């Protein structure tokens, strides 16, 4: 068997799109790319060599390069160990190039998890179905919106199946047990026999997406962890607020597939009362940006919302991109926040080539 090189490419994602909290995701044209070289199995007696991980692009200064600590490789090892494969193949070389900024609401952790599942599947030659790949990802990242869109691509709605008692228990294992941070002096048996994902946890449907619609990502220059942005959310909501979101989500999923898209319908349908109002304390400028940039003031704008858990703002538009982004920049600047912005398109899902 000779050495082989393959490339794993996973897109960025924007989750929620306003009212679709933890439900809707959109894959976008920034990518996490892994170039992996797997040598042939060593001949008997040659020493085992741990994976070499190199990293360029976003997050390169902060990401761990120890394969037993890095999120992507830990997920890959979890997948391998669920299939009774104890360790990475010897001599693996992994070069990661990342365009997705960390902790900004563009699905960086979801992409890292999907890349890990695909890496484990590939180096272990496991041939897992897409449904099973999603099960593994959902054991690690418990909200399906980012990981589903990153895996399958496009504008996607998903839900988690209601599990029976045994499967619920298997799926509610603390992440620290699914993904132990392997100590450097770990013995051979560390992290073996991890909990297997129940079958068919996640289900999804892809909505139509109007080709005229592009995404302006307005990216504040600070990180906000998803965990922190979820801590500020209430545990209970009023019927009025839930109905507000459900009405808008029902309209939005079809409205974004229509050509030409209708700005009046979409702007209102992208409003939310479940997560954005609570997150404004963490993102100075959020309410001002979403309320003062409208289809009336900015021709071409369709709708505007928080991207994922923030702090990025996502503006969907057919034209007028620069005016939208520069006016958002001016509003953020008044609160002391600098931004970068990118014009993105909706892309397909993850690939392994």
Ligand X SMILES: N[C@@H](CCO)C(=O)O
Ligand Y SMILES: Nc1ncnc2c1ncn2[C@@H]1O[C@H](COP(=O)(O)OP(=O)(O)OP(=O)(O)O)[C@@H](O)[C@H]1O
Interface with ligand X, residue 309, by CB under 6 A: yes
**311, 310, 292: which is closest to 301 by C-alpha?**
292
Question: What is the size of the binding site for ligand Y (CB under 6 A)?
Answer: 23
Helix (H) or strand (E) run with residue 156 in it: strand 155-160
**By CB under 6 A, what part of segment 280-339 binds ligand Y?**
308-309
Binding mask 128-147 toward ligand X (x if CB under 6 A, else -) reads ---------------x-xx-
Cα–Cα distance, 92 to 305 (Å, whole number): 41
Q: Which two tokens stand for residue 218?
A: 């307005």
Q: Which of ligand X, ligand Y, none has residue 72 at its interface (CB below 5 to 8 Å by kind)?
A: ligand Y
Cα–Cα distance, 180 to 77 (Å, whole number): 10
Q: Which of ligand Y, ligand X, none has residue 143 at its interface (CB below 5 to 8 Å by kind)?
A: ligand X
Q: Which of ligand Y, ligand X, none has residue 71 at its interface (CB below 5 to 8 Å by kind)?
A: ligand Y
Identify which of residues 123 and 306 has a Cβ nearer to ligand X in the complex. Answer: 306
CB distance 313 to 344 below 8 Å: no
Identify which of residues 89 and 308 has a Cβ nearer to ligand Y in the complex. Answer: 308
**By CB under 6 A, what part of segment 261-300 binds ligand X?**
275
The CA-based angle 291-295-297, given to 5 degrees, is 75
Give Cα 125 to chain centroid, integer Å.
24
Interface with ligand X, residue 230, by CB under 6 A: yes
Interface with ligand X, residue 73, by CB under 6 A: no
Binding mask 203-242 toward ligand Y (x if CB under 6 A, else -) reads ----------------------xx----------------
> What is the smallest separation between the CB atom of 34 and ligand Y, expressed in angstroms?
9
**Dihedral of the alpha carbons of 24, 31, 117, 50, in degrees to the nearest 10:** -160
Interface with ligand Y, residue 98, by CB under 6 A: yes
Q: Which burial class, exposed, middle or buried, applies to 172 when counting CB atoms under 10 A from its CB (0-12, 13-18, 19+)?
A: exposed
Q: Which stretch binds ligand X (CB under 6 A): 55-63, 111-119, 190-198, 226-234?
A: 226-234
Identify which of residues 121 and 226 has a Cβ nearer to ligand X in the complex. Answer: 226
CB distance 289 to 339 below 8 Å: no
Cα–Cα distance, 305 to 303 (Å, whole number): 7
- What residues make contact with ligand Y under the rule CB under 6 A? 15, 32, 59, 63, 70-72, 98, 102-110, 112, 146, 225-226, 308-309
């Amino acid at each position: 068997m000779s050495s082989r090189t393959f490339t794993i490419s996973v897109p960025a994602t924007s989750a929620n799109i306003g009212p679709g909290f933890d439900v809707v995701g959109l894959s976008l044209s920034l990518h996490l790319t892994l170039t992996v070289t797997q040598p042939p199995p060593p001949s008997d007696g040659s020493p085992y060599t741990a994976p070499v991980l190199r990293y360029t692009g976003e997050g390169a200064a902060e990401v761990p390069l120890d394969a037993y600590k890095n999120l992507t490789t830990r997920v890959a090892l979890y997948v391998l160990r669920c299939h009774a494969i104890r360790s990475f193949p010897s001599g693996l070389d992994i070069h990661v190039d990342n365009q997705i900024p960390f902790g900004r609401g563009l699905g960086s952790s979801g992409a890292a998890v999907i890349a890990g599942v695909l890496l484990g599947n590939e180096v272990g030659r496991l041939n897992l179905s897409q449904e099973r790949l999603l099960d593994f990802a959902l054991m690690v990242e418990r909200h399906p919106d980012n990981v589903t869109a990153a895996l399958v691509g496009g504008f996607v709605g998903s839900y988690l199946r209601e599990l029976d008692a045994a499967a619920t228990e298997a799926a509610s294992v603390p992440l620290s047990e699914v993904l132990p941070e392997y100590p450097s002096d770990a013995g051979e048996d560390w992290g073996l026999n991890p909990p297997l994902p129940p079958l068919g946890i996640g289900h999804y449907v892809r909505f139509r997406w109007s080709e005229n619609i592009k995404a302006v990502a307005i990216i504040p220059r600070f990180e906000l962890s998803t965990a922190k942005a979820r801590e500020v959310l209430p545990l209970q909501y009023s019927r009025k607020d839930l109905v507000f979101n459900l009405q808008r989500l029902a309209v939005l999923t079809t409205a974004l597939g229509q050509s030409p898209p209708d700005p009046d319908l979409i702007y209102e349908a992208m409003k939310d009362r479940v997560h954005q109002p609570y997150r404004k304390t963490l993102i100075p400028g959020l309410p001002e940006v979403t309320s003062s940039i409208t289809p009336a003031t900015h021709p071409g704008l369709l709708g505007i919302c928080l991207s994922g858990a923030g702090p990025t703002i996502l503006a969907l538009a057919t034209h007028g991109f620069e005016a939208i982004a520069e006016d958002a920049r001016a509003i953020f600047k008044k609160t002391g926040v600098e931004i970068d912005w990118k014009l993105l398109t909706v892309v397909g899902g993850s690939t392994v080539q």
